[in-house]
Amino acid sequence: MSARLKIWPLLCGIVAATGCAHFESKPLAPEKSAAQFDARRLDDPGLKKFLAQNLGHELPGWPLEKWDLNALTLAAFYFHPDLEVARAQWRVAEAGALTAGARPNPSVSVSPGYDGGIPDNYSPWLIPVTFDIPIETAGKRGKRIAEAEKVAESARWSFVTAAWQVRSNVRNSLMDLQMSGRRAALLQAQFAAQTEIVKQLQQRLDAGAISRPELTTAQIAMNKSQLDLSAAQAKRDDAHSRLAQALGVSVAALDGVNLEFDFSADVPDALTTADARGVALRGRADILGALADYAAAEADLRLQIAKQYPDLHLGPAYAWNSGNAGDSQWSLGVTLELPILDQNQGPIAEAEARRKLSAAKFVALQAQVIGAIDRAVAGLESARKQLQTGASVLAAAEQQQKSVAAQVQAGVAERLDLSSAEIELNSVRLAQLDGNAQLQSAVGALEDALQSPADSIAAVIRKISPENPNPSPQ
């Protein structure tokens, strides 16, 4: 018996150690992670594999000769740290489902006692052993699992929403970069024409053919063109930096990269029809996430109501009296909490309030989405009309410039007239460029509102893996 008692601690230790997790320290190294960030490039072999998997075909060459919106979006999915944050939150929620499904462990208690008054017993020691076996009632475990699954589903849709936000940021920054580059080129031509006018007027002033105010007016216009050019160049540099940030790489990673934005791309008419609102309300990630939040709140309410019913605890026990069989005892205890003073009314009230809050948030989000869709559709139609009007004005300005150029060549008009016509043409081109930018902004706003771009990237977002494709630490 002494040997049996000595082996019990060993057996308990083995049982406790079986399946236990062990802590592994993983300290953060800011210098290392910053160096890894700076080392990111668009010719990364892992990025090549990721693009080939999601584009559905082998790449013609590597690195790509041109990086369009889709390729840059996939690069952002590969690099951007915001997606890893959303991905980690998703994994946390999935781990919560494991916690919810755990069953309560039984417990054992040993309470050695001493009784010297037992007759004819060679040892006064008593060794009672009591077990506690909890039994959950009212299906609490299943309700916990249902709630945790809905929370995990909401986290998944939050990840998809984060992916759409990354896509939107890449599109907007790439469009701004291309637009500001085109604007800078037009303003450069505008400034050159203004400089030529000032030069010709200076010659006329020196010859006494004009007055000083005429030259001053031209100089002011030239200086304004120069300021506009500097502002456009600064905006281009800022858009370049914002694009790097949207991709999750350093600015140096874009050096020498040929970027392309298809300004001719438009959205299908189907996205501007009356059923677009229904498509968005049935398929937007944040809408589906809000529905999952409401379902989780309902599951929590069910769980809190179930907690009104107390759990059952079985307590079998055995008392061993130093080998005296006549004095050893078996017993079976049952413990049940009496719901007299508290019937879980407080948590039930909180759960009901949270369900109402989830419902209110869903309705508010739905109204916000409807408003965004309506504004985007109206903005797109307005931008299309404005661009069509601008096209006719641009055609007239181009015709006027050609006519003046022919007159100069024929000797019936002066070089100054041609410079003025070129300035007028560039002004119209700048206005048309602004109209094109407004159209593309409206297209982007509609894509964001519908979460349905006119390309294959939507399918990529829906199937994107919960595992980070970029193995380097964030």
Looking at per-residue confidence, does 352 or 51 come out higher? 352
Of the candidate ranges 73-82, 124-133, 351-360, the one whose mean pLDDT is the lowest? 124-133
Greatest mean pLDDT range, 77-91, 269-283, 321-335: 77-91
What pTM was estimated for this model as a whole? 0.84
Mean pLDDT of the 397-420 span: 88
| Cα atoms in the 13 Å half-sphere on the side-chain side of 127 | 13
pLDDT at 209: 85
Name the band, by pLDDT with cuts 50, 70 and 90, for residue 465. Answer: low
| Residues 278-309 pLDDT 10s | 778 888 889 999 999 999 999 999 999 999 99
Give phi and psi for 35, each to the nearest 5.
Answer: -65, -40
Name the band, by pLDDT with cuts 50, 70 and 90, for residue 1. Answer: very low
The CA distance from 169 to 162, in Å, is 11
Residue 12 reports pLDDT greater than 60? no
Residues in the chain: 474
| Residues 44-76 pLDDT 10s | 999 998 888 887 778 888 889 999 998 999 999
Neighbours of 126 (CB within 10 A): 20
pLDDT at 319: 78
Q: Are 66 and 159 in contact (CB under 8 A)?
A: no
Q: Are 161 and 468 in contact (CB under 8 A)?
A: no
Q: Are 175 and 441 in contact (CB under 8 A)?
A: yes
> Torsion over CA of 377, 379, 381 and 383, rounded to 10 degrees?
-150
Encoding tokens for residue 412? Answer: 């019936």
Q: Are 292 and 115 in contact (CB under 8 A)?
A: no
pLDDT at 88: 92
- Listed in sequence order, the residues at least 6 apart from 397 whose beta carbon sits closer than 8 Å to its beta carbon are 424, 425, 428, 429
| Residues 158-187 pLDDT 10s | 998 999 999 999 999 999 999 999 999 999
